[in-house]
Amino acid sequence: MEVNDVLTVSRDAMWVTIKLGAPMMVVGLVIGLVVSLFQALTQIQEATLAFVPKILAIFAVFLISLPFMVATLIGFTRELASRIVGGF
C-alpha cells in the first residue's frame, strides 16, 4: 500500500461522510434559522422551542434518506473490499 492509495481511500471516506451527514446538517441549519427568526420576531425565548423542531426534522430526514445512506455505505464498502482484494 502506497501513500497515494491511503490518500485515495481517505478522500473517498471523507466524501462518503459528507454525503451521509449533509442532508441532516442542512435541514438542522434551515430549521434553526427559521426558529431563530420566529423567536426574534415574537420575542419568545423558550429554550425547547429551538430544539424540538430541529430534532423532529432531522429524524424525518434521517428516515427519508436512510435507503440512500445504506446504499452509499454498501457501495463504499464494496469498492474498498475490491481494492483490498485487487491489491490496490
- pLDDT the model gives residue 88: 63
Domain ranges of the chain: 3-86
What is the pLDDT averaged over residues 23-43? 93
Distances (CA, A) of 71 to 20, 21, 67, 68, 78: 10, 14, 6, 5, 10
**pLDDT at position 13 over 70:** yes
For 58, how many CA atoms within 13 A lie in the half-sphere containing its CB?
A: 17
In this predicted model, what pLDDT tens digit does every residue of 38-60 receive, in sequence order?
988 988 888 788 899 999 999 99
Cβ neighbours for 23, distance < 8 A, ≥ 6 positions apart? 61, 65
User: Radius of gyration over alpha carbons of the chain, in Å?
Assistant: 19
Q: What is the pTM of this model?
A: 0.80
